[in-house]
Amino acid sequence: MPNPTAALLVIGDEILSGRTRDANMYHLAQELTKHGIDLKEVRVVSDDADAITAAVKALSAGYEHVFTSGGIGPTHDDITADCVAAAFGAPIDVRDDARAVLEAHYDKQGIELNDARLRMARIPQGATLIDNPVSAAPGFSLQNVHVMAGVPSIFQAMVESLLPTLTGGAPIQSVTLRITRGEGDIAGPLGRLASEYPDLSFGSYPFIQNGAYGANVVIRGPDAAALETARGKLAALFEGDTA
């Protein structure tokens, strides 16, 4: 059975303007690979209701899981929860379970649960809360869309809360061979080897280091023994230039 597929939707003008370097894509990609869920697409859109709603609709129709990052705080530009609700036609309002989580958190710190903070308890009807051990305000899963915070430490904590509840497949296995030859020399022999192993995927990722060209060849597939055999054959083709 193939692994479940997934997409990530990053919401935030600060990424698109170049103000902030996104960290959540890299983190989620690694966690999903370990969990046996295939991340197939990422989109980054601005804090715009139409753009968010359209992306949620398209991705939730195309993949088994959609993860979102950003736009669930208390300020006026935090509109993700409303957009996800709109994408599914679900009613949304302050929900008692989410309000109770926030009340407990702020009471303990002697902070007022004001109107702005209460916005973070707006959760669509039918959604399941995602635990936020960092700052309390919960994420949620509505159908196949998992809505999480944009602040990396909170995003990571929510991913850790959520992933064990999702059914993963076999962790995707891979082996890497570093070849210190230009890709133009690697391409021919690599292409022929790849055609001998139609069940494996061969990727070549070039680099330049100290002015010298090379490539990391990554072989992926479900069968560890087949990966090692293919890696051995590739290494033999470039003897003396591998690591």
Q: Give the count of beta carbons closer than 10 Å to the beta carbon of residue 97.
A: 11
CB of 166 to a second copy, least distance (A): 17
Q: What are the φ and ψ backbone dihedral angles of 11, each rounded to 5 degrees?
A: -110, 120
51 touches a second copy (CB under 8 A):
yes
Q: What are the φ and ψ backbone dihedral angles of 209, each rounded to 5 degrees?
A: -130, 125
134 touches a second copy (CB under 8 A):
yes
154, 186 contact by CB (below 8 A) = no
**Helix (H) or strand (E) segment spanning residue 42:** strand 38-45
Q: 30: buried, middle or exposed (CB in 10 Å: 19+, 13-18, 0-12)?
A: exposed
Footprint (CB under 8 A) of a second copy, residues 183-242: 183-188, 190-191, 194, 201-208, 213, 215, 218, 220
Report the distance separating Cα 161 and Cα 132, nearest Å: 8
Report the distance separating Cα 161 and Cα 165, nearest Å: 8
Nearer to a second copy among residue 26 and residue 165 (C-beta): 26
Which of 20-28, 140-148, 163-171, 225-233 is the region at the interface with a second copy (rule: CB under 8 A)?
20-28
The only residue of 117, 122, 146, 231 in contact with a second copy, by rule CB under 8 A: 117
Task: Describe the strand order of the beta sheet including 173-179 as a list of residue ranges.
Answer: 173-179, 212-221, 201-209
CB of 133 to a second copy, least distance (A): 13
98 touches a second copy (CB under 8 A):
no
Footprint (CB under 8 A) of a second copy, residues 154-193: 154, 172, 174, 182-188, 190-191
148 touches a second copy (CB under 8 A):
no
Which of 13-21, 83-91, 156-164, 235-243 is the region at the interface with a second copy (rule: CB under 8 A)?
13-21
Nearer to a second copy among residue 44 and residue 90 (C-beta): 44
Footprint (CB under 8 A) of a second copy, residues 21-40: 21-22, 25-33, 39-40
123 touches a second copy (CB under 8 A):
no
Question: Pick from 189, 231, 239, 183: which is nearest to 207 by CA?
Answer: 183
